[in-house]
Amino acid sequence: MSDSIKFGGVTLDCPNAGELATFYAAITGGQVTIPGDEWAMMTCPDGRDICFQAAPAYEPPSWPDPASSMQMHLDFDVDDLDATEALVLAAGATRYELQPNDHCRVYADPVGHPFCLSTAQALQEQG
């Protein structure tokens, strides 16, 4: 028996699992592989999964708010911030007014989870 641990993915609380899975599938070019209102999973083109579970008392995090935590956020590597921004806004994301730097942009998904689009990976590869 092995005692190794392998990361399997992340699950986000939300009001409706299927709706949020559909949003993330749309912005990543992935697909909803397990649909459902209570629990759903979407698979990104690279094979990584993001899962979603309904939480009746879900309240979105407040960011940026020094009295409240972001709780967690998802990072997505992109080549073109402007083109990808247009895609996520059209899918239902909201851009935060505060932006931390010039290679990363922060958005809220339709239920308020922060996520970032970043060209930092490209900067590391150049550097």
Predicted local distance difference test score (pLDDT) of residue 117: 95
Percentages helix, strand, coil for the chain (3-state, rounded to 5) are: 25, 30, 50
Predicted local distance difference test score (pLDDT) of residue 104: 93
**Residue pair 35/120 in contact by the 8 Å Cβ criterion:** no
Task: List where CATH 3.10.180.10 sits in the chain.
Answer: 59-127
Rounded mean pLDDT for each run of 10 residues along the chain, 127 residues in total: 80 97 98 98 96 94 80 90 96 95 94 92 59
Q: Closest Cα partner for 104 from 84, 125, 126, 127? A: 84
Q: Cα 71 to the chain's mean position, in Å?
A: 13
Fold of the domain built from segment(s) 59-127: 2,3-Dihydroxybiphenyl 1,2-Dioxygenase; domain 1 (3.10.180)
Task: List where CATH 3.30.720.120 sits in the chain.
Answer: 1-58
Fold of the domain built from segment(s) 1-58: 3.30.720
pTM (two decimals): 0.87
Q: Which two tokens stand for residue 94?
A: 């909201």
Predicted local distance difference test score (pLDDT) of residue 125: 62
How far is it, in rounded angstroms, from Cα 116 to Cα 118? 6
Predicted local distance difference test score (pLDDT) of residue 46: 93
